[in-house]
A and B are shown apart, each in its own frame.
Chain A
């Protein structure tokens, strides 16, 4: 038995439509996801994340290349793959004319559970996602966030070894997001492999053990979270807080050519490429006599993500 839950090799997907030139959405990407890992597939809109996920979940067939889930090829053994997975698709997927309880019941039955098993598992899930008071409400009467919550909660009703979450927390409020993230963590700790796509990089940074960043259908970085972050090690995040912030001082900061500079009332946030620049900036800031507080740390995943994408675009 291989250690990999998911193996993707040279995956290519080209959309062809009569009268329109073919679109290559995925251009030969490869990656591995280990069992029990939380894996994040990141990239800007149109990067090819959802297409990749659709291939892995047997919704689409690849133009070339291979993808295996727990050793089963997604093209030659789609039903075996579907037996191993559950998926939160990007679209809101809920039975609008059924109550929340019946949404769980139908979903459980589709995944081979009997009524007794469904009822016994439902209690924990309903509690975890705060759905107790909505059990008798029909899908059509739920708010957008609640619909999404039910959709995600369903996935945890069944014990599938691999879970795919395509933008799972979209439309959720902070409370639901926290509950979902906690549930994802708990499920992963029980040995389930979780693959998620998200725009919220903080979420990915918080949750994922490993990452792949794709853009324009190509892989631009992959590996463990630390490995990907190491690719941007030279990036530093500097935060300075002043009693008062002058325009001339801010103009002076621009000579260091920061990758990102955000000014908020009396504080400045900078993303820098050079460690020496960071030290010079802090020294100069202290000389002004108005510096109240400062912080220097490694840049966030978001900064690295933006830098990697920009770099690849420049190269292209």
Chain B
């Protein structure tokens, strides 16, 4: 446990050297919800009826914002691996007394904490400013979902960060992945109202699985048997990503 805590301490010190960075890290999802969500809600007037339940776009979009914040934080943390490699400190890390798995878990644990704070702020704003009707009894599941989400995406992006040597290549791949994964998912719109090719593709997207699970626990939309499958799918995605990330890290020296 000591090495994991040491990595968290290091991430904390680095984040604290730039309070502005930390501030924006925490409030960007909130801004997304308040600006993009509210804008779309008012401009298009999207009231949605899903499974016989009528919800506002803000209610629908809350899970998307939470899921997006996990994905965004995972991108930031995986990019941190690149910075560490450029600084050379990455290779020194690999000689510290810990396993490769501990190194990866330590790197993302601090991210999980910021994700929980981020998520809590976003949920609070959604409830008290946008009048989202939250299912409070599932709040812990939502927070757990944030942790699983950021970990899953971080491990998968870490594989990419360890394999790709060039910063610009990594950025290009991320930009394309970010664009495709977000729009081919249930993040911004319900999948029953999109063309069949898009809804079919989105069904295989872990970002959809994560968003659907968060949506179920935040506003109660979704069929639990399907959601359960998606949660299992995301956990398998996380486990496979972790295994590959450890393997990639073992070869990164």
Contacts and interface: CB of A to CB of B under 8 A. Distances in A.
Interface of A: 54, 57-61, 78-79, 82-83, 85-87, 89, 91-98, 102, 105-106, 109-112, 138, 151
Given A95-B87, A98-B17, A138-B17, 18 more contacts: A59-B95, A79-B99, A82-B98, A89-B92, A92-B87, A93-B88, A93-B91, A93-B92, A94-B88, A95-B10, A95-B89, A97-B18, A109-B5, A109-B9, A109-B10, A110-B10, A110-B98, A111-B96
B97 A97 contact: no
A109 B95 CA distance: 14
Interface in B67-118: 87-99
Interface of B: 2-3, 5-7, 9-10, 13-14, 17-18, 87-99, 250, 253
A61 to B, nearest CB: 8
B95 A57 contact: yes
Given A59-B253, A91-B91, A93-B87, A110 B13 contact: no
18 contacts: A58-B94, A59-B95, A59-B253, A60-B253, A78-B99, A79-B99, A87-B95, A89-B95, A91-B91, A97-B14, A97-B17, A98-B13, A98-B14, A109-B10, A110-B96, A110-B97, A110-B98, A151-B92
A85 B97 CA distance: 8
B91 A82 contact: no
A89 B98 contact: no
A94 B95 contact: no
A109 B3 CA distance: 8
Contacts, number: 77
Nearest to A78: B99
Given A79-B99, A87-B92, A110 B253 contact: no
Nearest to B7: A110
B95 A82 contact: yes
B87 to A, nearest CB: 5
A95 B2 CA distance: 20
A5 B36 CA distance: 62
A87 B87 CA distance: 16
Contacts of B2: 109, 112
B91 A106 contact: no
Contacts of A58: 94-95, 253
Contacts of A95: 10, 14, 87, 89
Given A57-B95, A97-B14, A109 B253 contact: no
Q: Among B2, B89, B99, B250, which residue has the most Cβ atoms of chain A within 10 A?
A: B89
Nearest to A87: B95
Contact of A94 (B7, B89, B96, B98): B89
B58 to A, nearest CB: 37
B7 to A, nearest CB: 8
A102 B95 CA distance: 19
Contact of B94 (A59, A94, A106, A138): A59
B13 A106 contact: yes
A106 B10 contact: yes
Contacts of A59: 91, 94-95, 253
Contacts of A61: 250
Contact of B87 (A94, A102, A111): A94
Q: Among B5, B18, B90, B96, which residue has the most Cβ atoms of chain A within 10 A?
A: B96
Contact of B3 (A60, A89, A92, A110): A110
Contacts of B87: 92-96
A98 B13 CA distance: 7
A193 B3 CA distance: 24
Nearest to B2: A112
Contacts of B92: 87, 89, 93, 151
Nearest to B21: A97
A105 B13 CA distance: 10
A138 B189 CA distance: 46
Given A59-B253, A94-B87, A86 B95 contact: yes
B95 A83 contact: no
B89 A102 contact: no
A79 B250 CA distance: 12
B88 A91 contact: yes
B6 A109 contact: yes
Given A94-B89, A106-B6, A111 B17 contact: no
A79 B97 contact: yes
Contacts of B89: 93-95
Q: Among B14, B92, B98, B253, which residue has the most Cβ atoms of chain A within 10 A?
A: B92
Contacts of A110: 3, 6-7, 10, 93, 96-98
Contacts of A138: 17
Considering the complex of A and B, which 7 residue pairs feature the smallest CB-CB distances, nearest first? A59-B253, A91-B88, A93-B92, A109-B6, A93-B88, A87-B95, A82-B97
Nearest to B6: A109
Contacts of B10: 95, 106, 109-110
B109 to A, nearest CB: 14
A85 B95 contact: yes
A81 to B, nearest CB: 9
A35 to B, nearest CB: 20
